[in-house]
Amino acid sequence: MRPALALVAFLLHAPAWALTGGAPPATGAAGQSIVMISGSRGSVCTGTAIARDLVLTAAHCALAAGYRVANFRGASIAVAQVAVHPRFDLGNYNRSRATADVALMKLSAPLPDAVVPAALAPAGNKVAVGERFIVAGFGVVAAGSASGLGTPRMASLAATGQPGNLQLRFFDPVTRGERAGLGACTGDSGGPVFAGEKVIGVVSWSTGPKLEDGCGGLTGVTPLSLYRAWIVETAAKLGSALAR
């Protein structure tokens, strides 16, 4: 397993894997709130507007400079400030260990009205095995390809393993990670996980079927329960009014 979803594989460090398996276009809260994040060195990730001028994403998507965000209509806005959670450990992330893979991007101007900021789930939100969630992103539709990059898609995935407050694992309830199915892929890193219309986590990594490299197996998610207070406090320091 190689958990480096953030970057298009041929552009930056490790293979990165997005919403593959024939995921439909993103609609509802997922389609209205996600934005695509691009870096000056060719990185591509997904983020969620949680205020008119603030985007939630993964910490490993926010380690360079020169970021811009755009919605599906192509309106592009520069990122003015980046805040990475102080407990994010890149070494742990690269070793596939759970870490605080959460960051905020303060924009230089408000997002257009077509983007509707999403609210965070309440503190203490718990996940049960088999529970379904919506994962959304702008990633590719097949590992090792640029096909579909930049198109907002979403998938209904089920929780598996032992859900906790450090890491969540989701899979396609039809294929169950044994063969290729719906799941996160290149460009979906930092994308939201929705319980109803509220965000409970961000996409951190993925695998292919049977834990091999690629997409369509497991989708790894950093839950927000431990980091919600930091998000709220940091948003206030940045002068952003969170959606409720």
* Residue 104, domain member (yes or no): yes
pLDDT band for position 22 (50/70/90)? confident
Average pLDDT over residues 117-141: 92
Placement of tokens 């930049």 in the chain: 150
CA distances from 177 to 102, 159, 169, 192, 236 (A): 25, 12, 11, 20, 40
pLDDT in tens, 61-75: 999 878 999 876 667
More confident residue, 140 or 203: 203
At 6 the pLDDT is: 41
* Residue 42, domain member (yes or no): yes
3-state DSSP call for residue 184? strand
Q: Are 113 and 67 in contact (CB under 8 A)?
A: no
* Residue 165, domain member (yes or no): no
At 148 the pLDDT is: 73
3-state DSSP call for residue 30? helix
* Residue 53, domain member (yes or no): yes
Q: Is a pLDDT exceeding 70 seen at residue 10?
A: no
Average pLDDT over residues 138-153: 79
Mean pLDDT rounded to a whole number for the chain = 87
- Burial class for 168, CB neighbours closer than 10 Å (0-12, 13-18, 19+): buried
Q: State the CATH number of the domain containing residue 44.
A: 2.40.10.10
> What whole-number distance in Å separates Cα of residue 160 and Cα of residue 217?
12
Placement of tokens 């952003």 in the chain: 240
* Residue 111, domain member (yes or no): yes
Average pLDDT over residues 82-98: 94
At 13 the pLDDT is: 30
Q: How many CA atoms lie within 13 A of 42 on its CB side?
A: 8
Percentage of the chain exceeding pLDDT 90: 67
In 3D, which of 22, 44, 51 has the Cα closest to residue 180? 22
* Residue 59, domain member (yes or no): yes
Average pLDDT over residues 151-156: 92
At 17 the pLDDT is: 34
- 25: which DSSP letter? B
- 23: which DSSP letter? P
Average pLDDT over residues 159-168: 94
3-state DSSP call for residue 209? helix
Q: Is a pLDDT exceeding 80 seen at residue 236?
A: yes
Domain total in the chain: 1
Average pLDDT over residues 215-225: 94
* Residue 67, domain member (yes or no): yes
At 14 the pLDDT is: 31
pLDDT in tens, 110-121: 999 989 999 999
Q: Is a pLDDT exceeding 90 seen at residue 41?
A: no
In 3D, which of 61, 66, 63 has the Cα closest to residue 80? 66
Q: Are 6 and 139 in contact (CB under 8 A)?
A: no
Judged by average pLDDT, the poorest of 4-18, 81-95, 102-116, 204-218 is: 4-18
The range of the structural domain enclosing residue 111 comes to 33-115+226-237
Average pLDDT over residues 92-105: 94
At 72 the pLDDT is: 65
* Residue 214, domain member (yes or no): no
